A and B are shown apart, each in its own frame.
Chain A
Amino acid sequence: MQFDFSRNHFELFGLAPGFALDLAALEQAYRALQSQVHPDKFTHLSQAEQRASMQWSTRVNEAYQALKSPLNRALYLLQLQGIDALAEHDTAMPGDFLMQQIEWREGIQDAREAADVTALQTLEAELASTAQQLRAGLARQLDEQHDYASAAQSVRKLKFMDKLVAEIHDTYEALET
């Protein structure tokens, strides 16, 4: 057997698959694995060992990234169910959410024009609380109800929220300079 890349990310870290995840255990397993496979441990060894080390270390980093953030974790759990939540043909969003989106976007635009940092912070806090609700919903949809269609919808909403937060950060930057 060569690289056992068939192991899924949860198995790689010896964790039970699920949206609710013990982040401290994930981090500890990640560090334990990197301590074994990181290229820094192999610089004085043969090229074959260095190559294997880079492949493994890359793989461990990828798995950690996929599980660490709630959005990526949800995407990955859906992928394990054969669902690509961000596939382009599947982006229909409910009307009320789209309306809300437009409002937020206008809010950011207004704050930018008025150079109003406080308004941006208020918006950011509002987005954070909505994202928190979506994540709580995901835990139910994925771990308890196994309602993957709804989970995929929540993931798409979270992705939208992520983009808005990035826009807010860009706006802070623009206002700072």
Chain B
Amino acid sequence: MALLQISEPGMSTAPHQHRLAAGIDLGTTNSLVASVRNGVSVVLNDEDGRALLPSVARYTAAHEPVVGYAAQCTQSTDPHNTVVSVKRFMGRGLADITDAGSFPYHFVDAPGMVQFKTAAGVKSPVEISADILRVLRNRAERSLGGELSGVVITVPAYFDDAQRQATKDAARLAGLNVLRLLNEPTAAAIAYGLDNAAEGIYAVYDLGGGTFDISILRLSQGVFEVLATNGDSALGGDDFDQRVFCWILEKSRLAALNAKDTRLLLTKAREAKEALSEHREVGITAVLSTGETVDLMLTAATFNEITQSLVNKTLAPTRKALRDAGLSVDEIKGVVMVGGSTRMPRIQAAVAEFFKQTPLTNLDPDKVVALGAAIQANVLAGNRTEDDWLLLDVIPLSLGIETMGGLVEKIVPRNTTIPAARGQEFTTYKDGQTAMSIHVLQGERELVSDCRSLAKFELRGIPPMVAGAARIRVTFQVDADGLLSVSAQELKSGVQASVTVKPAYGLVDEDITRMLRDSYTHAKDDMQTRALQEARVDAQRLLDATQTALDENAAQLLTADERDAIEAAMSKLQARLDVSDHRAIKDAAEALNAATHDFAARRMDMSVRQALAGQRLDAI
């Protein structure tokens, strides 16, 4: 007898077209885009066959922004207008940048996030990142021959809420549909794990151009479970360059340099660092704009000495991650090395010594993150794959709120598996208090002043009661991207307030709209056309998904009336697909979403029952 076929929940049984999806590694130094083709994840090259796109953008008065190698060439000659390592400034205020003086930029102190004054006007890190993303998007669409339905963008695991939100805003600005923000070490683990059928506990040591992450994962039967993560979102290859740069200044007795010479010597420092991965010593020579000359010999021993404290700075988070995971070094089966900076022999030796084993360097540390992101993007876009796997990630930093005395009460501890929700009750401090200010913070320290402020909002209209009588429940919801939303409710009166954590460091919607408008006037694109096209694609996707759901489960889960209501909403949306008002399409899509709310919940409930039933059968 033929066996009955049961499809994956939500996966269409009808053969559908392959949706174009890509994984993007938006790196500090270099960025890449990859995609799954014929079942294999591959990095997409530019027209000259190059995989890497230097994360450098140059802004001039007359032209469109120049991104990549061409911009990299001008970083010494036009340092003010050529922004490198912009990732370091994502979600950061000027006050966060302790070494602002060592950068050749004209910083502008803007509320929320620092900005750059360039010949093309003031640019925020979000806009600059969007310019880099646009180049990658064009590359992918040309290479894949169609519009991308969605992307996965990787972020350092140790990125906080503000940095994640900024990354998502940049993608929106570049016209990308973000399926998921994925942690870089986790992306690497997917690429490595699937490729090598790895099982066991692995550490991913990821030292990039500007960020360091350590993640401990358990790989078992197709499940990638992050046990703990730690890191430093301002530590990377750039800091090694900086050390060499300072050494050059000291040895050559150079005083304060102008921006061009600073960039020149930083470039020389980077080249020397890279050469030391192959050689025992390297010469550094340069002629400055002042006529002064640099002529030095840097040995590996000296390099190791001046960068020792940076190496140690990666080991402290590594110890913390192991401790949080409740593991000892002997329990780690393998250490996956990710990020260009792990090419440094000193780093490989330090990691080998710490973990008492030779780290795994059989994959390209520059590409593995993008390759993993592409695999995830392919699955999230809804394309069928042979491997069935599941990813369980965590939040890197604890989330909490301010309580009396400037202290932070943690509500969601670090390394909690996401999505997660936690609630906690608080009460009033004074008799008759009718409002309560809620200050949301992220970080591990006890004092408010030592944590990052994410948002402040107020719960008003609490009925006057004696101090301590009101019961205010604050609920944190962290989604699968690691982004937070907070709501508060007074339980006796039902007064509610909620906020998606954005205003403090993210962009508000008006900013996004303005920037979109600006960028489209540049690109001579038509915003209306674009919005209409997007609304149609989204609506068609929704119609397809709803039809699939009806075909699968309508008979079991819906009454005739309920089915009629959903089908009526579908017809209404279908009828509006041809109108030219994107708002009308969106409204009809909204209505269909609302009409399917109960149906979706029932389908989910049924999946849960089936999973458990299967579970019990397996156990017999």
Contacts and interface: CB of A to CB of B under 8 A. Distances in A.
Contacts of B615: 14, 28-29, 32
Chain A interface helix/strand/loop/mixed:
helix
Given A43-B179, A48-B596, A61 B420 contact: yes
A173 B546 CA distance: 52
Interface stretch (B58-66, B93-101, B374-382): B374-382
Interface of B is mostly: helix
B534 to A, nearest CB: 15
A161 B619 CA distance: 36
B10 A45 contact: yes
Interface stretch (B27-35, B428-436, B515-523, B606-614): B606-614
B382 A37 contact: no
A46 B593 contact: yes
Contact of B612 (A2, A33, A61): A33
Given A14-B612, A44-B545, A52-B600, A31 B390 contact: yes
Interface string B429-463: 00000000000000000000000000000000000
A28 B617 CA distance: 13
Interface residues of A, number: 45
A127 interface: no
A173 to B, nearest CB: 7
Nearest to A11: B612
A36 B608 contact: yes
Interface in B118-152: 150
B117 interface: no
Interface in B1-50: 8-10, 19
B154 to A, nearest CB: 15
Interface in A5-32: 12-14, 25, 28-29, 31-32
Contacts of B150: 43-44
A47 B10 CA distance: 13
In the complex, which of the residues B8, B542, B612 has the most CB atoms of chain A within 10 Å of its own CB atom?
B612
A54 B479 contact: yes
Nearest to A35: B390
Nearest to A60: B608
A60 to B, nearest CB: 8
A25 B592 CA distance: 39
B591 to A, nearest CB: 11
A153 interface: no
A141 interface: no
Interface centre among A1, A3, A49, A177 (most CB of B within 10 A): A49
A64 B392 CA distance: 13
Contacts of A34: 390, 392
B420 A62 contact: yes
A4 B608 CA distance: 10
Given A35-B390, A39-B480, 18 more contacts: A2-B601, A14-B612, A14-B616, A32-B614, A36-B9, A36-B607, A37-B608, A42-B10, A43-B150, A45-B10, A46-B546, A46-B596, A48-B593, A49-B596, A54-B479, A57-B419, A64-B417, A176-B319
6 closest A-B pairs (Cβ-Cβ)?
A44-B382, A48-B600, A39-B480, A43-B380, A36-B607, A52-B604
